Amino acid sequence: MKKILLTCLSVSVILFACNNEKKTDDSKKKETETTETNNTSTAPPDSAAQAEMMKAWQDFATPGPEHTWMNNHAGTWVCDSVAQWMDPAQPPTYSKATDVVTVAMNGLYQMSDFSSNMMGMEMKGHGMMGFDKMKKKFVLSWIDNLGSGIVQMEGSYDVATKTLNMSGKQSDPGMKKETAMRQVLTFHNDDSYTMAMYGTGHDGKEAKFMEGTFKRTKK
């Protein structure tokens, strides 16, 4: 009995020693991993990289020729007969519209305050357009009092046809999903352009829902 007890005690001591050694090894391993992780942390960019990054941001924030073109459209624009379609199979209704365009943020953005009537309801809209120099695209955000969503569109200007084509998505509560829409601005001269808006009809096909020719009355 005494021998058995001594043997058990010896085994316990050995197991304890092995366990303790394993814990020590694990602690050392974790400490080494932590040290390696700290040593491999991302170092700050050197002065040359910082200067290059700063120049990239400065260029991004500097208005370019696209901004000059865009901002040349500042002024008050009116249309006496904007055509609107609720159903493309039916004749359109007509209303007057005014769009006051201003320039903001050192010429980086064009702001638009639009007022009209749509299907007998007063409509007030606000747009913000810029030219994203990284994307190399015109970008547009639009809000109005006839909905709670924000329309986002982007597109390009075709010099040959003098047309700005923008496309994006809008929330359609009637269809309970986002649907495609696009805007086409065709410039006739410095003081006249035609706007056409297209959206997704209830049959899933694209249809024109607004069109009008605007003339600048005041720069």
What pLDDT is stored for residue 88 in this prediction?
A: 87
Q: Where are the alpha helices (DSSP H) in 104-203?
A: none
| CB contact at 8 A, 98 and 116 | yes
Write the secondary structure of 54-70 as one string of H (helix), E (strand) and C (coil): HHHHHHHCCCCHHHHHH
Question: If you classify domain 65-218 with CATH, what class do you get?
Answer: mainly beta
Output the pTM of the full model: 0.78
What pLDDT is stored for residue 14 in this prediction?
A: 40
Domain range list for the chain: 1-32, 65-218
What pLDDT is stored for residue 8 in this prediction?
A: 41
Per-residue pLDDT of the chain (219 residues; tens, 9 = 90+): 433 333 443 434 343 344 444 444 555 555 555 555 455 556 667 899 999 999 999 999 999 999 999 999 999 999 999 999 988 889 999 999 999 999 999 999 999 999 999 878 999 999 999 999 999 999 999 999 999 999 999 999 999 999 999 999 999 999 999 999 999 999 999 999 999 999 999 889 999 999 999 999 998
| C-alpha angle 52-57-61 in degrees, rounded to nearest 5 | 145
What pLDDT is stored for residue 52 in this prediction?
A: 93
| 141 CB neighbour count, 10 Å cutoff | 15
Instruction: Kindly report, residue by residue over 47-83, the tens digit of the pLDDT.
Output: 999 999 999 999 999 999 999 999 999 999 999 999 9
Number of H helices, E strands in the chain: 3, 10
Q: Which long-range contacts (C-beta less than 8 Å, at least 24 apart) are formed by 175-182?
A: 175/200, 175/202, 180/206, 181/151, 181/153, 182/153, 182/155, 182/206
Ramachandran angles phi, psi of 178, nearest 5°: -80, 140
Burial class (CB in 10 A: 0-12, 13-18, 19+), 214: buried
| CB contact at 8 A, 103 and 110 | yes
What pLDDT is stored for residue 31 in this prediction?
A: 53
What pLDDT is stored for residue 6 in this prediction?
A: 36
Chain-centroid distance, C-alpha 205: 25
What pLDDT is stored for residue 7 in this prediction?
A: 41
Q: 């865009």: which residue's tokens?
A: 70
Ramachandran angles phi, psi of 7, nearest 5°: -65, -45
What pLDDT is stored for residue 194 in this prediction?
A: 98
What pLDDT is stored for residue 13 in this prediction?
A: 39
Tell me whether strands 192-200 and 177-189 are parallel, antiparallel or unpaired: antiparallel
Q: Per residue in 51-88, is it b (16+ CB within 10 Å) or e — as a string?
A: eeeeeeeeeeeebeebbeebbebbebbebeebbbbeee
